[in-house]
Amino acid sequence: MKKVLITGGAGFIGSHLVDYYIENHQVFVIDDLSMGNRLNLPDHTNLTFIEGDVCDESLLREIFTANKFEYIFHLAAVASVQDSIDRPQYTHKVNFDSTLMMLELTKEHQDKLKRFVFTSSAAVYGDLPTLPKTEDLAVLPKTPYAIDKYASERYVLSYSNLYNIPTSAVRFFNVYGPRQNPLSPYSGVISIITDKLKRAQSEETEFVLFGNGEQTRDFINVKDVINALVIVSQSYDSLGKVYNVGTGKPVALIDMMELYFSITGRKLVIINKPSRDGDIKESYASIKAIQNIGFEQKVTLEQGLEKYWNSVL
């Protein structure tokens, strides 16, 4: 059976990728469970779960020596921007050093490799005003998280050109769906709202709205994200390239909230506060490049919110 390695596979997006591969592949997950959860993973004979740190070179070397992977998806990261601002040295190790180390190991063990895919972020664009964001725009990474994502992404793509290793990268916009951890104030806004709506049945529940709610985001359902990852990993054209992963449609935060309230039949008490420092007013992706290799959005925001809500009831 073909082997797939998914770092960060016990997390939100990684666990959905595990679900995609698990029936027909031998799936290896390495995750230190700092944010992920063992319960996100299926109980399946095709799964090998390794609780460990992606910065642990001897552990990674052992895994690469014992297995020849067809696909490697490097998702493990400290995904919180605020955490990267609070602990830049630590997050640099996880968000950058681990990528370079994995690339070197991949170089030594690439016999069966079809693709190494790195998950970068729309954060690399910073707050430059040009919209929509196209992959060839100037970038302005402004936080340790964004800087490490951009540097990792460049290394990953350069390994394709310099050493002929099959690599690609993706820049996720605002991903939402089941299993996104809502516990940090910097968790995805849809996971925070979902968590609060659940509680709103029995008690009046407050939601702090930063800014006037007119800020836009490109919310993409995790199912579409998995589809995008699979397409990028299988396309020949995507070798050595980076792709935006979004829907191409800006949605105002307040409109998303109204839609969610009407789907659930519940409301939250909105507490208005000033915008967060550095909050981006408008953000959405150009998805022409990924559409050209076969991607199309399948889950509308309405369908995605409905499914998410049903999954938590």
Positions in the binding site for ligand UD2 (CB under 6 A): 81, 121-123, 174, 186-189, 192, 208-211, 215, 217, 253, 276, 279-280
Q: Closer CB to ligand NAD, residue 159 or residue 200?
A: 159
Residue closest to 249 by CA, chosen among 192, 300, 213, 210:
300
Dist. CA 58–CA 42, nearest whole Å: 27
- 211 or 248, CB closer to ligand UD2? 211
Q: For ligand NAD, give the closer residue by CB, 200 or 257.
A: 257
Q: Least distance in Å: CB of 234 to ligand UD2?
A: 25
Query: Which segments within 163-279 are labelled E, that is strand?
Result: 167-172, 174-176, 206-210, 216-217, 219-221, 242-245, 251-252, 269-273
Task: Kindly tell me which of 127 and 237 has the beta carbon lying closer to ligand UD2.
Answer: 127
What single-letter DSSP state applies at residue 123?
G
- Cβ of residue 79: shortest distance to ligand NAD, in angstroms? 4
Cβ proximity to ligand NAD: between 248 and 266 the closer is: 248
Does residue 145 carry a catalytic annotation?
A: yes
CB of 175 to ligand UD2, least distance (A): 6
Q: Least distance to ligand UD2 from the beta carbon of 165, Å?
A: 26
Give least dist CB 92 to ligand UD2, A: 16
Paired strand residues for 117: 73, 168
Q: Kindly give the pairing relationship between strand 251-252 and strand 216-217.
A: antiparallel
Question: 254 contacts which partner out of ligand NAD, ligand UD2, none, CB within 5 to 8 A by kind?
Answer: none
Q: How would you label 14-47 residue by residue, b for 16+ Cβ within 10 Å and e otherwise?
A: bbbbbbbbbeebbbbbbbbeebbeeebbeeeebb
Residue 304 binds which entry of ligand UD2, ligand NAD, none, CB below 5-8 Å type-dependent: none
- Residue from 117, 23, 34, 37 nearest 69 by CA: 117
Among ligand UD2, ligand NAD, none, what does residue 13 contact (CB within 5–8 Å per kind)?
ligand NAD
**Which CB sits closer to ligand NAD, 40 or 160?**
40
Structure tokens at 255: 């409109």
Q: How far is the CB of 107 from ligand UD2 (least distance, A)?
A: 29
Question: Which of the listed partners (ligand UD2, ligand NAD, none) does 75 bind, with a CB threshold of 5 to 8 Å by partner kind?
Answer: ligand NAD
Burial of residue 228 (number of CB atoms within 10 Å: 0-12, 13-18, 19+): buried
Report the residue count for the chain. Answer: 313
Q: Which of 21, 125, 145, 159 is catalytic?
A: 145
**Which backbone phi and psi does 172 adopt, to 5 degrees?**
-75, 140
Residues that bind ligand NAD (CB under 6 A): 8, 10-14, 30-36, 53-55, 75-79, 94, 119, 121, 172, 174-175, 181, 188
CA distance 13 to 225: 8
Active site residues: 145
